[in-house]
């Protein structure tokens, strides 16, 4: 009756705290000039790992690079997915852990616009 019983002592992290952690991590990377925005990684719409290596070499010569793309950007995904030091995430999967683990963050222009749009829509809905 009074013995140990299996319980789950885990606690859920609030959504606003998760969002604040992501924005804080991105702000830290932006302050350190480690946040970059590119148009695309391919050459004229065709995927090219060689072109992606050249772009990343100029922007982020770091060990771990996080590349954020939109779901419909097949050219950029195919260009960088085979690089060992690159971690590719879709813009809707972006999280604070991956931002903090990576040395540099590279957004495609479309992914950056989608991220900013999702954050501004959220704040307008809350204030309305």
For residue 53, the enclosing domain spans 35-127
Asked whether residue 111 is domain-assigned, the answer is yes
Asked whether residue 78 is domain-assigned, the answer is yes
Provide the CATH number for the domain around residue 64. 3.40.1370.10
Rounded distance between C-alpha atoms, residue 95 and residue 126, angstroms = 21
Asked whether residue 23 is domain-assigned, the answer is no
Asked whether residue 103 is domain-assigned, the answer is yes
Q: Count of domains in the chain? A: 1
Q: pLDDT digit of tens for each residue in the chain (128 aa)?
A: 789 999 999 999 999 999 999 999 999 999 999 999 998 887 777 888 999 999 999 988 878 999 999 999 899 999 999 999 999 999 999 999 999 999 999 999 999 999 999 988 755 565 55
Asked whether residue 26 is domain-assigned, the answer is no
């Amino acid at each position: 009756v009074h013995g140990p019983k299996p319980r789950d002592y885990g606690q859920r992290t609030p959504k606003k705290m998760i969002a604040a952690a992501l924005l804080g991590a991105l702000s830290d990377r932006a302050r350190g000039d480690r946040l970059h925005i590119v148009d695309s990684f391919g050459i004229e719409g065709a995927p090219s790992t060689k072109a992606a290596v050249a772009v990343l070499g100029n922007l982020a010569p770091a060990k771990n690079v996080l590349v954020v793309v939109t779901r419909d950007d097949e050219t950029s995904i195919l260009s960088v997915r085979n690089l060992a030091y690159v971690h590719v995430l879709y813009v809707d999967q972006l999280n604070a852990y991956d931002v903090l683990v990576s040395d540099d963050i590279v957004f495609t222009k479309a992914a950056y616009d989608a991220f900013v749009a999702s954050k501004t829509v959220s704040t307008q809905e809350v204030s309305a």
